[in-house]
Amino acid sequence: MVVKMWSENEKNILNKILDQLIPENPKRNIPSAGQLGIASFIFDVANKNHNLKDDVVFILDWTFAKADKISPCLVRKLEKENPKAFGSLLTETYKGYYSRSDIRYKLGL
């Protein structure tokens, strides 16, 4: 299996998307998914899972083609137009974020 080398730009874009999926809660000192660097978790999993890799590459390409800024509206459009790829990303985002013991502690889980 060929391991894809993800660029810093791809990581930055994905972290901005992840910030929309799980936003920060400053009042409770809970970081967003992007702030925690969950993109690195997703890229690691994607390098081992061909289907996820395809979905992530698709999402990044779609995002690059659609906008230069990540917004809630753009992420909703991504979800509506590409439910399979979006669902795959959302699932891995939740796995990466909520598997962290520091986040579970902050959430009282």
pLDDT in tens, 25-71: 999 999 999 999 999 999 999 999 999 999 999 999 999 887 778 89
pLDDT > 70 in the chain, percent? 96
- State pTM to two decimals: 0.89
Rounded to an integer, what distance in angstroms lies between the CA atom of residue 37 and that of residue 2?
A: 23
What would the mean pLDDT of 71-82 be, rounded to a whole number?
A: 94
Strand partners, 25: 30
Q: What is the pLDDT of residue 107?
A: 86
Output the average pLDDT for the chain. Answer: 92
Q: How far apart are CA 66 and CA 69, in angstroms?
A: 9
From residue 18, alpha-carbon distances to 1, 2, 64 in Å are 26, 25, 15
